Amino acid sequence: MSESLRTVDIIAAKRDSKPLSNAQISTFIKGYADGSIPDYQAAAWCMATFLNGMSPEETGYLTRAMIDSGEVIDLSGVKGPFVDKHSTGGVGDKISLILAPVAAACGVRVPMMSGRALGHTGGTLDKLDSIPGYTTALTPAKFRDGVGGVGFAMTGQSEKVVPADRKMYALRDVIATVESIPLITASILSKKFAEGSDALVMDVKCGKGAFMKTPADARALAESLVRTGESLDRRVIAVLTDMSEPLGRMVGNFLEVEESIACLRGEGPPDVMEVTYRLTAWMLIAAGISKDVNEAEERCRKAVADGSAMEKFRSNVEYQGGILGDLDAMYAKARAKFSREIKAESAGFVSEIDAFAVGMAGVALGVGRDTAADPVEALAGIELLKKTGESVVTGDILMRVWAEDEAKLEAGVQRLDGSVSVGCNAPAERGSLILEEIAPE
């Protein structure tokens, strides 16, 4: 008996934990994308998938169906290899702004389709939009030429690329199925491979400031991403990184652009540079430029030291309409109108900084969003003057906080209450932020 392609039968099969075929999944996704399958049936299917999961084969079918629901960026005529990086989201996560020019300086072509802030996590596009004149809405031709000419380009998701994912993501957000690993996997990989990438390096974050709170959950997602990539004949490498406290010392849109520039000048915080160099090293390996992590990381350090990575960054800013003179004039000077200092009430050592609390304070200040329609403030944010393990005396400034109006400033400061813990004894030295690396065999 042949399999049924009726929508209700496809839902019932997943409800009963039966495997779905490629034809069933592609038919369902095509119908949802073109509107012939309504939200209520898609919601039922998403919940059945959330509860019963998917095999690696099914997740691969779903990813391919998502890609096929819209246009695929055509990078023909541009010499590869094309490798991108994607983060599952964190606080102070400005890695893409540093990684892309470093990778490009080392010979990797980076077609990067990025997202905006939502919830406590920041968004690459919002950071880039804080650069005067910079546009993140590129036509496919402009995007392709940037990848070919500069070595990388940064753009938002076009409405014509992976429309099924955009529609399903919005639905999942309101039916409590965002955490489904197969649905997360297909959502990420469909967007990344529709942009033209040959390979992908995933930064799967875990800890208080991440969506995946435990290493076990992060590992499950990482393994799903790697396996699904294999089923699509694409190389996916997953790196699990610690997001228990904010990355770097700046949290905010322009503040993180500033810190990224400092990193490209060789003046970046060690935690940011550790993650940047390791992720970029895997990009070089995926591109066939390097054979091992140590040699690849050395190439990355050289690109920062000799200024070639900074030159790629400035070339990209100029290519995408940014005004370099204005950017230089704003550096270390442009701040929001209202500010407050948060000071230590006792002496000792910083034992913890709650990344989630800092991220939610950023939302209150205007750095991020509660909903996709919320505006963001370019100059709002938080500077962390003390990090875990550093000593403090009573009255030391722990944080500087900026906002464009007093009400937002007050709300942000309240969110930060208790976010920094100070103890009498120095905490154990923080280990590497690189927790695990998973690559296809």
- 22: domain CATH number? 1.20.970.10
Strand partners, 216: none
pLDDT above 50 for 195 = yes
- pTM to 2 decimal places: 0.94
CATH code for position 180:
3.40.1030.10
Name the least confident of 309-313, 359-363, 368-372: 368-372
- Residue 117: per-residue pLDDT: 66
Name the least confident of 62-66, 163-167, 262-266, 348-352: 163-167
Residue 282 and residue 351 in one domain: no
Residue 437 domain-assigned (yes or no) = no
d(CA 29, CA 82): 27
Of the pLDDT bands very low, low, confident and very high (cuts 50, 70, 90), residue 128 is: very high
Q: Which domain holds residue 15?
A: 7-53
Residue 386 and residue 243 in one domain: no
Residue 153 and residue 251 in one domain: yes
Per-residue pLDDT, averaged over 83-106, amounts to 97
Within 10 angstroms of residue 302's Cβ, the number of other Cβ atoms is 14
Which residues are part of the catalytic machinery?
86, 165, 172, 187, 191
Of the pLDDT bands very low, low, confident and very high (cuts 50, 70, 90), residue 1 is: very low
Residue 244 and residue 100 in one domain: yes
Residue 76 domain-assigned (yes or no) = no
Residue 358 and residue 321 in one domain: no
Residue 2 domain-assigned (yes or no) = no
Residue 74 domain-assigned (yes or no) = no
Residue 113 domain-assigned (yes or no) = yes
What residue has token string 């099969």? 13
Per-residue pLDDT, averaged over 80-106, amounts to 97
Residue 222 domain-assigned (yes or no) = yes
Residue 70 domain-assigned (yes or no) = no
Residue 264 and residue 366 in one domain: no
d(CA 149, CA 152): 8
Residue 178 and residue 317 in one domain: yes
Q: How many residues does this entry show for the chain?
A: 441
pLDDT above 80 for 187 = yes
- Residue 278: per-residue pLDDT: 99
Residue 323 and residue 371 in one domain: no
pLDDT in tens, 9-49: 999 999 999 999 999 999 999 999 999 999 999 999 999 99
320 contacts: CB under 8 Å, gap ≥ 6 = 128, 134, 135, 136, 138, 146, 153, 154
Residue 434 domain-assigned (yes or no) = no
Question: What average pLDDT is seen over the chain?
Answer: 95
Q: Order of strands across the sheet with 235-242?
A: 83-87, 199-206, 235-242, 434-438
User: How many structural domains are present in the chain?
Assistant: 3
